[in-house]
Structure 1
């Protein structure tokens, strides 16, 4: 489970909220209970001490003996309050005496100086203060044990009394309460995690179904729909998704129908043109044989008819090849090919030997479709000769299981704004030159033939700025890349291997 997942974040947020609420509630409950427990104990002990001072200490003589003070202190401490008592009196003026209920536990040194000062200080009598002396108290700690220490004195010259009560039982009770609140906080945290898991499952299950449906829709399953139930926001989201999927399916179906109609039209048109083109091809051949004896006035027109007829024938053949790729019916006819011999044969068949430098090591054998490789090479080399100029250098090498063929020219290179489009169909680099000798499909067909092998072609400018470089990459073994077909399924474009435009057009 990833920490970035919505489920984990939802659980963490629930847990943090629950932890914050539980800790806050436990802290407030502990503080309130602590104050209540300590105040109850404190009020009970000080109230009892005040009463004892009024009953026993006030009954002592003005100059009590040490024994009388001790006996009175023991009697005051013998009650149910459970505190120790210390009484201070005077034998004579300036001669204090002390009587303690338990000298080993409570002495005058255990009384904080600030408390002594407050107890001995005589208060001014006012309408709101009828007594010169009051009971004062504070909480202190001795050897890690909390104590309540209080004191007061008898009005009219009587003894001063101090009491000390241990708060250890209350601390133990408060510690037990703290542990109980801690356990309750932990249980609340666990309960919030379970509730968060339940909420996450309830909320994220529809989201997961939506994500799965979107994934299937992206994979082409356009009939994917979500089951809608309820009226909440998630149900509304599911309805929106279903509406979008239905609209997308309809649009894709319409586009597919139009595309299929266009593809069928091009295929039918190409097929229908092939028969008249066969007849037309014979006419230029006859005219070419008689061209030398023609009238000089009509010779240019005859030359134009010959070139345009051949261009039209190439265009028809290329269109038929393109429709095969679009329909997915193009097949590979694999054979073991000596790459150097194949490149040499391609160059020799087109009389390019004087314009092309070949750098190919003999003995590199790859399992490819030789006719499609010939089409690729013819288009790349012909394009380089037409738009880059000779010398064109063709180099062949292998990198692992990959065959790499580079075709480099020494022309002006390819403009940067043209580079992304050199393999587009009918792309013209200059709108002012819409007409050229090629069909505008050569590099596109070369790329399709590379892709069907499981390879590709890239176009770039030479790093030294001298010409363009087309790099063909094909697997050494094309078996399993695409279904193999009939060895006689090649088109005229494949057999003719016409070089075509694409770089500068």
Structure 2
């Protein structure tokens, strides 16, 4: 007899995978997950291969030992039976065979002298029976093979693994050559299955430990990598906040160290560039301030002379020569413009230097606007819509500058009448100045508050300095307010001034900030 392997067709369920796309905002989390997935894949693969190899080795070793013992028992005991044994002889022989070292169950099948099939098993009436043998195995055992040069025997030993009630069994069978009983063997593989289960649990625990170890390793690696990145982020934020002296400590020669060096070089170049720009800006402000102060002395003398000339022009005696009267009037006009320009420049330098301060007082809005209009003889050209009794705590002089610039700009570039309305919104003052002119072109709107911006496609060139609206906006900002420019749907331009009713809180915060700034400046020096 020779061995011929048999096998069980296993069913392998199909797998339907679902792809989950997870978006992680944390680089640390992504590193830990990637490390964990790699470690899990490696551990599962290694554990699976180790389990499969050990499983095959354990089952093959147990199987070979059982089949050798069964074949030997068939030759020693079943081969000694007569050609047509009785059932008692089969029962006795099966019991003898079952007492082998492997302790398997035996079933012998033969025909007695009356050609009747008789059975003998090692377990009595409730023992191993023919129904416990798979039909395919019985067919293979009883099938007679052709004897050839490659196949010397007509019958072979066949085996098959089966599972009943969760317990694995090895079933084998063979037929005696030359006549005699057919023998079947049933061997439980439960001890081997328990060993394999223990091995699976051990490999699972090892996989879990490997996963935990990889997560800890990933955490350590992420900390090593992300700590310099975190420091770089903090330094970049400080640099963005204007702290240009921020630098990173560089250690090592890796890519992160090179990145830190590049950051330090960039910060140093930026600090130098900003310092140069600040120096040039300070020099420009000092130049404007010095020039304005230097111009005031000769301008005062010129103004005095111009006032005398203007009185002569208005005098009834007509002492000014008519030939030079236009020139005198031009000098008077341009001197006034020069005086306004110098005053505006000095005001601008105060804003740029941060020395502009509020002098607060209780103001009645209706009286303040009326006084502003009356002082400039605009009563006939301005319609005022303001209730009396709306009081606020503001700087009257700066409010007058804002109103004068807005109303004067509307009268100069828009159409009469100019309407000024006052209302309260969420404890804020809202003053709207609307003209009836052609409006402001859309491409000019973003630039109306720019310094020296006077060009317009629809309006004539201004005779002013181009600083009025800019100064008005600065005065609104120092109050904690704002000015916006827009075109009215009904035609004309609308400038909207929004101011807090009480600017006292703003001045207190400014004074506190100056104290802190002076303290820090002293420490820095």
Q: In structure 1, which of residues 306, 322, 330 is the aligned counterpart of residue 332 of structure 2?
A: 306
* Structure 2 residue 27 is the aligned partner of structure 1 residue 6: yes
Q: 1-side partners of 2:300 and 2:442: how far apart? A: 40
**Matching residue of 1:89:** 110
Report the 3-state secondary structure (helix = DSSP H, G, I; strand = E; otherwise coil) of the residue aligned with 1:138.
strand
User: Is the 2:121–2:127 Cα contact (8 Å) retained in structure 1?
Assistant: no
**Matching residue of 1:396:** 422
Q: In structure 1, which of residues 101, 123, 127 is the aligned counterpart of residue 145 of structure 2?
A: 123
Residues 269 and 432 of structure 1, relative CA distance in 2, 3 Å threshold: farther
User: Is the 1:333–1:485 Cα contact (8 Å) retained in structure 2?
Assistant: no
User: Is the 2:438–2:458 Cα contact (8 Å) retained in structure 1?
Assistant: no
> CA shift at 1:139, angstroms?
1.6
User: Is the 1:360–1:395 Cα contact (8 Å) retained in structure 2?
Assistant: yes
Report the 3-state secondary structure (helix = DSSP H, G, I; strand = E; otherwise coil) of the residue aligned with 1:229.
coil
Residues 213 and 295 of structure 1, relative CA distance in 2, 3 Å threshold: same
Q: 1-side partners of 2:47 and 2:422: how far apart? A: 79
Q: 2-side partners of 1:288 and 1:128: how far apart? A: 139
Q: In structure 2, which of residues 45, 57, 71 is the aligned counterpart of residue 50 of structure 1?
A: 71
Q: In structure 1, which of residues 343, 365, 378 is the aligned counterpart of residue 391 of structure 2?
A: 365
User: Is the 2:441–2:457 Cα contact (8 Å) retained in structure 1?
Assistant: no
Indicate the RMSD between aligned Cα atoms, in angstroms. 2.2
Residues 220 and 485 of structure 1, relative CA distance in 2, 3 Å threshold: closer
* Structure 2 residue 102 is the aligned partner of structure 1 residue 76: no
**Matching residue of 2:351:** 325
Q: 1-side partners of 2:388 and 2:189: how far apart? A: 102
User: Is the 1:334–1:484 Cα contact (8 Å) retained in structure 2?
Assistant: no
**Matching residue of 2:17:** none
> CA shift at 1:434, angstroms?
9.4
Residues 431 and 410 of structure 1, relative CA distance in 2, 3 Å threshold: closer
Q: 1-side partners of 2:252 and 2:305: how far apart? A: 75
**Matching residue of 1:208:** 230
> CA shift at 1:433, angstroms?
8.8
1:392-442 superposed Cα distances (whole Å, 9 cap, x missing partner): 222212222322222222222221111111111111334999953111111
**Matching residue of 1:176:** 198
Q: In structure 1, which of residues 439, 457, 461 is the aligned counterpart of residue 487 of structure 2?
A: 461
User: Is the 2:434–2:494 Cα contact (8 Å) retained in structure 1?
Assistant: yes
Report the 3-state secondary structure (helix = DSSP H, G, I; strand = E; otherwise coil) of the residue aligned with 1:357.
strand
Report the 3-state secondary structure (helix = DSSP H, G, I; strand = E; otherwise coil) of the residue aligned with 2:118.
strand
> CA shift at 1:126, angstroms?
3.1
Residues 472 and 431 of structure 1, relative CA distance in 2, 3 Å threshold: closer
How many residues align structurally?
A: 484
**Matching residue of 2:408:** 382
Report the 3-state secondary structure (helix = DSSP H, G, I; strand = E; otherwise coil) of the residue aligned with 1:480.
helix
What are the residue-to-residue correspondences of 1:234-253 with 2, within 5 Å?
234-253=256-275
**Matching residue of 1:421:** 447
What are the residue-to-residue correspondences of 1:154-169 with 2, within 5 Å?
154-169=176-191
Residues 485 and 187 of structure 1, relative CA distance in 2, 3 Å threshold: closer
* Structure 2 residue 314 is the aligned partner of structure 1 residue 274: no
**TM-score of the two chains, using structure 2 as the length reference:** 0.87
Residues 283 and 329 of structure 1, relative CA distance in 2, 3 Å threshold: same
> CA shift at 1:92, angstroms?
4.5
Which structure 2 residue ranges, 5 or more long, are not aligned? 1-22, 512-525
Q: In structure 2, which of residues 170, 185, 190 is the aligned counterpart of residue 148 of structure 1?
A: 170
**Matching residue of 1:341:** 367
Q: 1-side partners of 2:145 and 2:256: how far apart? A: 74
Q: 1-side partners of 2:337 and 2:186: how far apart? A: 118
**TM-score of the two chains, using structure 1 as the length reference:** 0.91
Q: In structure 2, which of residues 446, 469, 474 is the aligned counterpart of residue 443 of structure 1?
A: 469
